[in-house]
């Protein structure tokens, strides 16, 4: 990779200010992180202050490396601080499919690593005493149709065969555990849980600072250039000289690293939150306080927030900035699932981008001259981003490429990337129609 000028200050067209969200209201305060002024020298510079960037910086600093983080807005500003807060094990593909794609050894190792992803999050939360409302009572995936019930039965069986703490819920358990009659079955994975994602992001950033990381907010990386055996990263009022660079900008990637922006499709989804729920609703909706994400192609996720509101995410997607129709779809989804409990009063609605790869798998890319990129969580960002950051740190500390669960690969370009907005709109509409047809034919 040969780097050129980027446009990190652009932040995909958004303002470098957190959106009005429930998380912005109830989270830990932002970490104190001054903009960079002047020149600093470090071993590794991390560009991007989300889960992956902060987890990598923390691990590197604890191993004795001098590290700086350059964040264009503030830690947790992007997808890390905008999601539903569900900590989910696994990848988009089931264990047997990973074995089929990558062989018994690598596929089995990847499945085992992916299944243990939540352990990394909750271990970091405990070790660094991060006040992010962690609840590890499991993750539930309910089936929307009879056809999808067969899918989750197979998924649950595959994880059970690998001794994961999972089980199918009995038919009579589904409605009492979820609080809605709309699903035909479900399985529970006890490895999962929920957190406040913005507090977790800020807590990781603070832990990295305590470990010695130089964290600079409101400091976009404008360009990179080779300088002897390392790199010089220019910012508006300073520069960083580093031997190696980790670019962890995910869906907000720009042209700082040629090809990175075109290697994923940034998809925008939304989250909504109600007013605090009544005692009846709190006893009815997820009384065990699990997180839940259903099986629809346009899946809907839901949970109870730390301050006792119903939070819902997903249901629709776009490639642009306008999220009004995304919020409307979520409001309708909420009424569909929980309208039997009475009207829902929505108080918050916000949105953000997450990166989708062509193969729906995460990727690590690296150059021979010291640049590493990792991205592609495809909607499972909390646990997977954390683990990717720690994996990159291990690689930069000398772990062999073939020992990584996700070995580095060439950086592919998504076909017809320039038409991504129209493509997202078409795919979203098609998936919605498929979900409706499946429901009509197989409910």
- The whole-number average pLDDT for the span 354-380 is 91
**Using CA of residue 207, residue 254, residue 328, residue 138, what is the dihedral sign?**
negative
How far apart CA 157 and CA 155 sit, in angstroms, is 5
How far apart CA 181 and CA 236 sit, in angstroms, is 55
With bands split at pLDDT 50, 70 and 90, how would you rate the model's confidence at 5? Answer: very low
What's the confidence (pLDDT) of residue 437? 74
Contact 442, 147 (CB under 8 A): yes
Query: Among 51-65, 179-193, 355-369, whose mean pLDDT is lowest?
Result: 355-369
- The whole-number average pLDDT for the span 218-238 is 96
Please give the structure tokens belonging to residue 122: 């909750």
pLDDT at 361 over 60: yes
How far apart CA 92 and CA 104 sit, in angstroms, is 18
> What's the full length of the chain, in residues?
443
Q: What is the DSSP letter of 140?
A: E
Query: Considering the entire predicted model, what is its pTM?
Result: 0.94
Q: Between 411 and 43, where is the model more confident?
A: 43
Q: What is the tens place of the pLDDT at every residue in 100-137?
A: 999 999 999 999 999 999 999 999 999 999 999 999 99
Strands 346-356 and 265-274: antiparallel
Q: What is the tens place of the pLDDT at every residue in 130-144?
A: 999 999 999 999 999
């Amino acid at each position: 990779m040969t780097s050129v000028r980027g446009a990190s200050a652009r932040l995909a067209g958004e303002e470098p200010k957190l959106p009005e969200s429930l998380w912005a209201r109830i989270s830990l305060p932002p970490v104190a992180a001054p903009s960079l002024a002047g020149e600093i020298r470090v071993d590794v510079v991390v560009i991007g202050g989300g889960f992956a960037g902060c987890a990598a910086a923390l691990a590197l600093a604890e191993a004795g490396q001098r590290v700086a983080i350059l964040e264009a807005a503030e830690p947790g500003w992007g997808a890390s601080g905008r999601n539903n807060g569900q900590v989910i094990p696994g990848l988009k593909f089931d264990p047997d499919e990973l074995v089929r794609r990558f062989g018994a050894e690598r596929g089995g190792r990847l499945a085992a690593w992916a299944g243990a992803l939540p352990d990394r999050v909750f271990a970091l939360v405990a070790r660094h005493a991060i006040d992010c409302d962690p609840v590890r009572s499991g993750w539930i995936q309910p089936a929307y149709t009879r056809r999808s019930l067969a899918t989750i039965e197979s998924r649950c069986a595959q994880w059970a065969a690998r001794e994961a703490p999972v089980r199918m819920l009995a038919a009579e358990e589904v409605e009492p555990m979820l609080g809605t009659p709309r699903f035909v079955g479900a399985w529970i994975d006890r490895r999962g849980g929920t957190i406040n994602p913005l507090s977790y992001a800020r807590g990781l950033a603070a832990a990295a600072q305590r470990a010695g990381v130089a964290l600079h907010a409101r400091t976009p990386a404008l360009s990179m250039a080779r300088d002897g055996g390392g790199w010089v990263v220019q910012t508006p009022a300073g520069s960083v000289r580093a031997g190696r660079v980790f670019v962890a900008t995910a869906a907000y990637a720009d042209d700082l690293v040629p090809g990175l922006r075109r290697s994923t499709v940034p998809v925008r989804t939304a989250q909504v939150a109600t007013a605090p729920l009544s005692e009846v609703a709190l006893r009815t909706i997820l009384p065990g306080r699990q997180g839940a994400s259903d099986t629809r192609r346009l899946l809907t996720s839901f949970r109870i927030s730390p301050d006792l509101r119903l939070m819902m995410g997903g249901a629709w997607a776009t490639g642009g900035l306008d999220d009004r129709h995304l919020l409307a779809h979520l409001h309708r989804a909420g009424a569909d699932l929980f309208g039997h409990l009475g009207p829902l009063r929505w108080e918050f609605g916000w949105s953000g981008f997450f990166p989708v790869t062509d193969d729906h798998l995460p990727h690590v890319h690296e150059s021979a001259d010291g640049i590493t990129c990792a991205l592609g969580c495809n909607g499972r960002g909390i646990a997977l981003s954390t683990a990717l950051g720690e994996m990159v740190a291990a690689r930069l500390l000398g772990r062999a490429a073939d020992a990584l669960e996700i070995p580095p690969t060439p950086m592919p370009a998504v076909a017809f990337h320039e038409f991504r907005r129209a493509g997202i709109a078409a795919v979203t509409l098609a998936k919605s129609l498929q979900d409706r047809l499946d429901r009509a034919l197989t409910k």
